[in-house]
C-alpha cells in the first residue's frame, strides 16, 4: 500500500500524462513532480538527461517510488535531433535507473506502442519490439534499461488522450484546434491503426500496479478496442455535433508525409491482456473515454 508518508518522484510531470498522474498521487502521498518545462507552480525543474542533476535531485527528495514519464515525444523532432532524443529517452532512463538500483526502489517506466513495427495487426505484451523511428528506438532502449531493474514496471501506452487544451500536444487537440479556426474539411489518414489511451485511466493503473507491488512485469496501458486516426476524427466531429458542417476526408499517409515524416507503424494496436487480468475496470472502451475526455476538454475551454 502507498501511505501518506510515502514519497513519489514523478519526472516529466508537466506533460499530458503527468497532469493526471499528479492528480492521483497528490491525494495519497507526498509528490515530487518535476519537468524540464516548469509550466505550473507545483513542478520542480529537472532535466533527466543530466546525470548530475538527477542524482542531486533524487538525493534531495529521497523518494521511495519513481514514476518516469519524462520523454521527448514529438516524433518529427526526434527524427531531426536523434542525439537529443537518445539523451532524454534513453540516457534519461539510465540516470534515473542508476539511483533506483542503488536504493532498491520501484521504478515505473512508460514505454510506447511505437516500439513495434506494425507488421502485425495487434500486439500483446509478449510480442517482440522492432521500432522504426528514432522516437521508438530511443524509447525501447529506455525500456530495456528499466526492465533490467529488480523492481521495475513497464507500461506501454497507446495513443495518448489527455492534458486538455493547455497540455494536449497530440491528435485530439490537433483536430479540435482545426475545428476552432473554422475549418470545413479535415484530411485524416485511414491507414494508421492504434488503441487510444486515456491519461486518467492510465494514472489509476499506475497507482494500482505500484500499490500491489506488481514488479518485474510489462503491461499494455490502453483502452479497449482499436481504431484508425480517421475513426477518432469522425468521433470528435460527431461529439461536437458538426457532422453536417465538417467533411472528414479519408486520405493515406502519403498525403501527409511532408508534415508527418517520421516513420510510423501501420498498426500500433495494443491488446491489454495483463492489465485486464488485474484491473478490468481500467480498460474502458476508447469511445467512452474519448467522450469523457472531450467533456472535460470543453469544460476547460468555457
Ligand atoms: N503522447 C503519446 O501519444 C504517448 C504514447 C505512448 C507513450 N508515451 C509516453 O508517455 C510518457 C508521458 O508522455 P506524455 O504523453 O505526457 O507526453 P508529453 O506531454 O510530451 O510529456 C513529456 C514531458 O517530459 C518533458 N521532457 C522532455 N525532455 C525532458 C527532459 N530532458 N527532462 C525532463 N523532462 C523532459 C516534456 O517537456 P517538453 O514539453 O518541454 O518536451 C513533457 O513535459 C512519455 O514517456 C512518452 O514517451 C506517450
> pLDDT tens string for the chain (302 positions)?
899 999 999 999 999 999 999 999 998 999 999 999 998 999 999 999 999 999 999 999 999 999 999 999 999 999 999 999 999 999 999 999 999 999 999 999 999 999 999 999 999 999 999 999 999 999 999 999 999 999 999 999 999 999 999 999 999 999 999 999 999 999 999 999 999 999 999 999 999 999 999 999 999 999 999 999 999 999 999 999 999 999 999 999 999 999 999 999 999 999 999 999 999 999 999 999 999 999 999 998 87
287: Cβ below 6 Å to ligand 1? no
- Residue with the smallest CA separation from ligand 1 atom 42 is 15
Q: Which residues contact 57 (CB under 8 A, 6 or more apart)?
A: 9, 34, 44, 46
- Atom 45 of ligand 1, nearest CA residue: 69
Cα dihedral 125/159/203/138 (nearest 10) = 70
Distance CA 108, CA 154 (A): 6
Q: Which residue from 9, 17, 34 has its CB within 8 A of the most atoms of ligand 1, so it is best to mutate?
A: 17
pLDDT value, residue 302: 76
Find out whether the beta carbon of 11 lies less than 6 Å from any atom of ligand 1: yes
Ligand 1 pocket, residue 203 CB under 6 Å: no
Of 48, 70, 116, 195, the one to substitute when testing ligand 1's pocket (max ligand atoms within 8 A of C-beta) is: 70
Check if 211 has its Cβ closer than 6 Å to any atom of ligand 1: no
Ligand 1 atom closest to the CA of 168, numbered from 1? 19
C-beta 138 within 6 A of ligand 1: no
Q: Give me the pLDDT at residue 183, please.
A: 92
Cell numbers at residue 285, please?
Answer: 472502451
How far does the centroid of ligand 1 lie from the alpha carbon of residue 190, in Å?
26
Return the ligand 1 atom nearest residue 159 CA: 3
User: What would be the CATH architecture of the domain defined by 7-162+197-224+270-283?
Assistant: 3-Layer(aba) Sandwich (3.40)
Closest CA to ligand 1's atom 8: 112
Give the list of residues 6+ apart from residue 192 with CB closer than 8 angstroms, or none. 228, 229, 253, 264, 265, 266, 267, 268
pTM: 0.97
CA pair distance 251, 71, nearest whole angstrom: 30
Query: What pLDDT score does 156 carry?
Result: 98
Verify whether ligand 1 is closer than 6 Å to residue 49 (CB atom): yes
Amino acid at each position: 500500500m502507498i501511505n501518506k508518508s510515502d514519497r513519489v518522484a514523478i519526472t516529466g510531470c508537466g506533460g499530458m500524462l503527468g497532469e493526471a498522474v499528479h492528480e492521483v498521487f497528490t491525494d495519497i502521498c507526498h509528490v515530487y513532480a518535476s519537468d524540464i518545462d516548469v509550466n505550473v507552480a507545483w513542478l520542480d525543474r529537472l532535466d533527466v538527461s543530466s546525470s548530475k542533476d538527477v542524482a542531486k535531485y533524487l538525493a534531495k527528495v529521497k523518494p521511495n517510488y519513481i514514476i518516469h514519464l519524462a520523454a521527448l515525444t514529438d516524433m518529427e523532432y526526434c527524427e531531426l535531433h536523434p542525439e537529443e532524443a537518445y539523451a532524454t529517452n534513453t540516457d534519461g532512463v539510465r540516470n534515473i535507473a542508476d539511483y533506483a538500483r542503488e536504493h532498491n526502489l520501484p521504478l515505473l517506466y512508460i514505454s510506447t506502442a511505437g516500439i513495434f513495427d506494425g507488421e502485425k495487426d495487434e500486439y500483446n505484451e509478449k510480442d517482440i519490439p522492432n521500432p522504426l523511428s528514432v522516437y521508438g528506438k530511443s524509447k525501447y532502449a529506455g525500456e530495456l534499461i528499466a526492465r533490467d531493474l529488480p523492481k521495475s514496471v513497464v507500461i506501454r501506452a497507446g495513443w495518448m488522450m489527455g492534458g486538455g487544451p493547455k497540455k494536449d500536444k497530440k491528435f485530439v487537440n490537433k483536430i479540435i484546434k482545426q475545428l476552432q479556426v473554422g475549418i470545413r474539411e479535415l484530411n485524416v489518414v485511414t491507414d494508421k491503426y492504434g488503441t487510444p489511451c486515456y491519461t486518467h485511466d492510465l494514472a489509476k493503473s499506475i497507482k494500482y500496479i505500484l500499490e500491489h507491488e506488481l514488479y518485474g512485469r510489462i503491461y499494455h496501458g490502453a483502452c479497449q478496442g482499436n481504431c484508425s486516426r480517421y475513426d477518432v476524427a469522425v468521433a470528435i466531429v460527431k461529439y461536437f455535433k458538426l457532422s453536417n458542417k465538417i467533411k472528414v476526408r479519408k486520405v493515406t499517409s502519403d498525403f501527409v508525409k511532408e508534415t508527418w515524416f517520421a516513420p510510423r507503424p501501420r498498426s500500433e494496436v495494443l491488446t491489454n491482456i495483463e492489465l485486464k487480468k488485474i484491473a478490468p475496470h481500467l480498460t474502458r472502451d476508447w469511445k467512452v473515454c474519448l467522450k469523457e475526455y472531450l467533456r472535460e476538454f470543453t469544460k476547460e475551454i468555457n
